[in-house]
């Protein structure tokens, strides 16, 4: 894969949250590199409440990591 993550530093919490989402998406892409398979699975998990809650948890964990790296934007 191409190098895409050069820093966890962001200027604002909004940018940090967007980075957390990107980290989560890239985690999925790394673990399931086939775009065709991801696209085939998406309709199933996008309608499953537990799957959506799990996605939110992963994003929250990544946001916590980004926030800590940015000293919580103090």
The residue among 8, 44, 37, 33 whose CA lies nearest residue 23 is 8
- Per residue in 1-18, pLDDT (tens digit) is 689 999 999 999 999 999
Cα angle 66, 18, 21; round to 5:
80
The reported pLDDT for the residue numbered 1 is 66
| Rounded-to-integer distance, Cα 42 and Cα 61, Å | 22
Average pLDDT over residues 38-64: 97
The reported pLDDT for the residue numbered 2 is 81
The percent of residues above 70 in pLDDT, for the chain, comes to 99
pTM of the model: 0.91
């Amino acid at each position: 894969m191409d190098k895409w993550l050069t820093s966890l530093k962001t200027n604002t919490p909004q940018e940090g949250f967007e980075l957390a989402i990107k980290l989560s998406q890239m985690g999925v892409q790394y673990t399931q590199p086939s775009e065709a398979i991801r696209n085939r699975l998406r309709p199933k998990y996008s309608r499953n409440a537990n799957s959506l809650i799990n996605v939110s948890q992963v994003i929250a964990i990544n946001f916590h990591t980004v926030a800590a790296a940015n000293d919580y934007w103090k």
